[in-house]
Structure 1
Amino acid sequence: MIRQILVSILLTYVQFCSPFFCCASIIKTIALNGGHNVVVSADGTGDYKTIQKAIDSAPKHCGEPYRIYVKNGDYNEVITVPIEKRFIHLIGQDKQQTRVHFMLNVQSLPKPDSKWYQTDTAAWEFSVHNPKAAVYRYPGAVVSIYGDDFYAENISFINDWGLERQSGPQALAIRIQADRVAFSGCIFRSFQDTWMTSTRKPNDRLYVYNCWIEGAVDYFYGGGNAYVEHCTLYNVRSGSVIVAPSHKEETKWGYVFKYCTIDGNTAAADGKVKLGRPWHDQPKAVFLYTRMNIPVAKEGWTDMGGIPKIFADYKSIDVSGNAIGTDNRKTRFKNSNNEMGVSKAILTDAEAASYTYDTVIVGNDQWNPRKFICTKPQVWK
């Protein structure tokens, strides 16, 4: 009886977790006392040995969180959250030791006359387009999310091709085509196109807190409104390009990075890293209060397929805390049709202040993913 009461109290606490209280340890206690729906353990001590099997077990069209506790382990699998599986919550035991990973890429058939033929041939062995590959017709990402209201915490998501080979082609760790998706305390690692955000609807929302996002080429790209705060963007080569957004005219906010850190390895610290480039349409991306531990190219941005609506950074500082000037930031862009356009590169104080959690994320439906997060700063900014 006492145990049931304690479990009930813990469940209630997790559902309404105070934004001013750290309850990371309580998650582990809940997992041990039945507060989860199912447990995944690679060693067979849980309800399932794979995360995909646990997702498959979840009810369809759920209206409340279905909590899947994932114990430390090596999960070498491809995961898909289908559109009918809403409110899937994956809670890892430890982000360094709970690893979801797989080796795949989307290399097209190599061309013998290409200067990249040898590299492309090596990638072809692990391509989802290769009829002879073990991953033929697999999804083009290690994790694909189509169900709304997804949440994950304390898990590493890794594309082994990108991480181990440190080269292209596209090798997604995660792809999202859903609204109201959130992550906290997670690690995302690949090389090219690590993370694709939702292009399903112009204003699908993504919230990312306290995560590590690693790559080299357009490693955070796509559409929708993304609010990314207190995260590290880690670059792994010279000339890395962080974001490549593609936003429709009706997308309200685009990409918002707030209180994030831009860092990288020695190769990336040569002053050639770019904040981003416009993939298609009218992209929007702002970096607010960014700490740049490695130098970023003075122009900040570069050309691609579209003309950005706004590409700006505001009150960026270097590794020593000194303000970084933005006078040389790129404002004129050429798209794939050789058309020229001008982008906004400077934010006023009032404009910068408009990019808040409430305006970008909460919305008319009052979505508040912060209530699910159990490791929080004492004061939200």
Structure 2
Amino acid sequence: MDLKYAALISVLSLSLSCSSKADDTPKKEEQQIETVKYDLIVAQDGSGNFKTIQEAVNAVPSGKTKPFTIYIKNGIYKEIVTVPSSKTFVSFKGENVEKTIITYDNYAKRLNSEGKEYGTSGSASVFINGNNFTAEQITFENTSGIDAGQALAINIGAPKSAFKNCKFLGFQDTFYAGNGTLQYVTDSYIGGTVDFIFGGSTAFFENCILHSFRDGYLTAASTPQEQKYGYIFQKCKITAASDLKKASVYLGRPWRPYANVVFVECEMGGHIRPEGWHNWGNTDNEKTARYAEYESKGEGYQAGKRVSWSKQLTAEEAKLYSKQNVLGSWNPF
């Protein structure tokens, strides 16, 4: 099969049986066939075009202006995956979010082949640098362990990227996206311990689960001063491991001055501390941090006990943080 720089089309047929109504009239069983086309298929058993995800990414033509979809069959893919800036409009579509897993176990202090530490940003299992990247039904994971220190599941440098029905699993520093980048994350799960959503990006999280495995901080934003938005969590659930004690997790701490994080109509478990926010041991951060909430609920939402330098939004102020205002005309799904 010739794989040189050509878009390869594979067809998956999914059969959906239509059940008959519950009456005495005999019904003929009908089948509706849906044909779904993908540009490339990755399968560890050799039934696709490639056995590794990176091989498939390498085969994507550069400079695409329309989505190029890589279908990834179930499997644990232990590999470091990089989508370079030249590979635009790449789309990962997993077979099943629980069973389609990209994983690695690097961490900041680990030494690379040159005897140098990977560092925080270099420890990721997946690096996304190609603009207009999307992913659905994929788990991004770092398995270096709860005591390994900084260890990223994903490092996002792409100007725009979006994730739907995905999982991000790690401990410290699970999800990182740099300054000047924009993410939309919906119906997804992000798990970690310390600062597990961090960086200077603008990111809109909708209907997501943020899950703490032990005490720590959900966010460590480093939003640039001139940037209007940082992290917006809308209608998300803030959950924790069953053995995690109450009032043991902060909503966030400012990695840099002017950190911007807003929770809107979220459900917060009792593991969230009443004061909500931490100043990272620097009272000057209290003068610049842009931390706010609006009409959340649950045991962890104690508006009257929050630190004085955070804000409870009015209904009009909360409208400024709508998906339309943050994402504009961009609609990746």
SS in 2 for 1:141: coil
**Who is 2:128 aligned against?**
145
SS in 1 for 2:86: coil
Q: Distance in 1 between matches of 2:225 and 2:43?
A: 44
TM alignment of 1:325-336, pairs within 5 A: 325-331=302-308
**Who is 2:268 aligned against?**
292
Does residue 93 (structure 1) correspond to residue 77 (structure 2)? The answer is no
Q: Distance in 1 between matches of 2:196 and 2:119?
A: 23
CA positional deviation for 1:263: 0.4
**Who is 1:230 aligned against?**
207
Gaps of 5+ in 1: 1-6, 11-25, 108-126, 332-342, 373-381
Q: Deviations over 1:231-266 (max 9, x none)?
A: 00000112x200000011111111100000000113
Q: Equivalent of 1:54, from 53, 56, 64?
A: 56
SS in 1 for 2:302: coil
The structure in which a higher percent of residues are helix is 1
**Who is 1:218 aligned against?**
195
Q: Distance in 1 between matches of 2:197 and 2:296?
A: 19
**Who is 2:140 aligned against?**
157
**Who is 2:156 aligned against?**
176
Q: Distance in 2 between matches of 1:133 and 1:49?
A: 30
CA positional deviation for 1:69: 0.4
Gaps of 5+ in 2: 1-10, 15-31
Does residue 197 (structure 1) correspond to residue 190 (structure 2)? The answer is no
Does residue 367 (structure 1) correspond to residue 333 (structure 2)? The answer is no
Q: Equivalent of 1:83, from 82, 85, 104?
A: 85
Tell me, yes or no, if the aligned pair for 1:106 and 1:129 is still in contact at 8 Å. Answer: no
Tell me, yes or no, if the aligned pair for 1:235 and 1:263 is still in contact at 8 Å. Answer: yes
Q: TM-score, normalised by structure 1?
A: 0.74
Tell me, yes or no, if the aligned pair for 1:290 and 1:315 is still in contact at 8 Å. Answer: yes
Q: Distance in 1 between matches of 2:148 and 2:46?
A: 35
Q: Distance in 2 between matches of 1:310 and 1:98?
A: 37
Higher relative contact order (CA 8 A, sep 6+): 1
Tell me, yes or no, if the aligned pair for 2:131 and 2:160 is still in contact at 8 Å. Answer: yes
Counterpart residue type for residue 280 of structure 1: R
Does residue 185 (structure 1) correspond to residue 148 (structure 2)? The answer is no
Q: TM-score, normalised by structure 2?
A: 0.84
The structure in which a higher percent of residues are strand is 2
CA positional deviation for 1:63: 0.6
Change (3 A) 1:156 1:30: farther
Instruction: Spell out structure 1 runs of 4+ moving beyond 3 A.
Output: 28-31, 128-139, 305-309
Tell me, yes or no, if the aligned pair for 2:107 and 2:119 is still in contact at 8 Å. Answer: no
Change (3 A) 1:152 1:260: same
State the Cα RMSD in Å: 2.5
TM alignment of 1:1-381, pairs within 5 A: 29-31=34-36, 35-107=37-109, 127-129=110-112, 131=114, 139-161=122-144, 165-199=145-179, 201=180, 204-238=181-215, 240-304=216-280, 306-307=285-286, 308-318=288-298, 324-331=301-308, 343-362=309-328, 366-369=329-332, 372=333
Q: Distance in 2 between matches of 1:128 and 1:287?
A: 38
Q: Distance in 1 between matches of 2:175 and 2:324?
A: 24
Tell me, yes or no, if the aligned pair for 2:135 and 2:163 is still in contact at 8 Å. Answer: yes
Counterpart residue type for residue 130 of structure 2: G
Q: Distance in 2 between matches of 1:347 and 1:66?
A: 41
Q: Distance in 1 between matches of 2:41 and 2:233?
A: 33
SS in 2 for 1:95: coil
CA positional deviation for 1:205: 1.2
Q: Deviations over 1:202-255 (max 9, x none)?
A: xx21000010100000000001211001000000112x2000000111111111
Q: Distance in 1 between matches of 2:119 and 2:264?
A: 41
Instruction: State, as a whole percentage, how many aligned pairs show the same letter.
Output: 33
Q: Distance in 2 between matches of 1:282 and 1:137?
A: 22
SS in 2 for 1:281: coil
In the comparison of the two structures, how many residue pairs are matched? 300
SS in 1 for 2:211: strand
